[in-house]
Amino acid sequence: MATKTVNVSKPYTWSEKIYLLAIVQGLLITLKHFINGFFLRKHNTIMYPEVRREYSDRFRGAHFISIDRNKTENCTACYLCQTVCPAECITIVAGERESAHNPDGVKKEKQPVKFDIDALRCCFCGFCEEACPKDAIKLSGKYEMAITSREEAKYDLVYLKREVKGRG
């Protein structure tokens, strides 16, 4: 059976064809922004980096691994975060911890000898943070993650163990 094509497009009216109304509307919007910015000092942009936006406490930025008071990472290389990561961007290699009991009295038998996160693959879902039984891996409030090479996107243990105050 032959299909029937129905043309549902509406023809332009005369006033729409000359675009006058649309041009005036556009100019009024521009004028509104000019008055807001120039006279009323209401800006939609900020003078970054001198001024910084407040982000929500729930913002998920660059990862870090929490450390105890002996500067030992709380991670026990259990692989849970690596297993749960949907982007498969965590690579851990576990090793023996030199002392099975650290001075805090917390038993930590394993430690990561390698802990890499490929930040370019990460989708910052926070699953790794949720899965960690040791509250070791966390996503900080750090949002300045601009890089100039792919290598810099690889967060290694040295970077991850950086000291983070609060949410960083």
Instruction: Give the x/- contact pattern for ligand SF4 in 110-129, rule: CB under 6 A.
Output: -------x----xxxxxxx-
- Report how far apart, in Å, the C-alpha atoms of 22 and of each of 15, 36, 133 are: 10, 21, 58
8 Å CB contact between 145 and 159: no
- Report how far apart, in Å, the C-alpha atoms of 54 and of each of 29, 50, 143 are: 28, 13, 11
The answer to the question of residue 160 lying near ligand SF4 (CB under 6 A) is no
8 Å CB contact between 115 and 65: yes
Site for ligand SF4 in 35-94 (CB under 6 A): 75-81, 85-87, 89-90, 92
Site for ligand SF4 in 84-103 (CB under 6 A): 85-87, 89-90, 92
Strand partners, 92: 115
Q: Which is nearer to ligand SF4, 34 or 55 (CB)?
A: 55
Beta carbon of residue 10, minimum distance to ligand SF4 (angstroms, whole number): 46
The answer to the question of residue 159 lying near ligand SF4 (CB under 6 A) is no
What does the DSSP 8-state code read for residue 13? P
Catalog residues that contact ligand SF4 under the rule CB under 6 A.
75-81, 85-87, 89-90, 92, 117, 122-128, 131-132, 134, 136-137
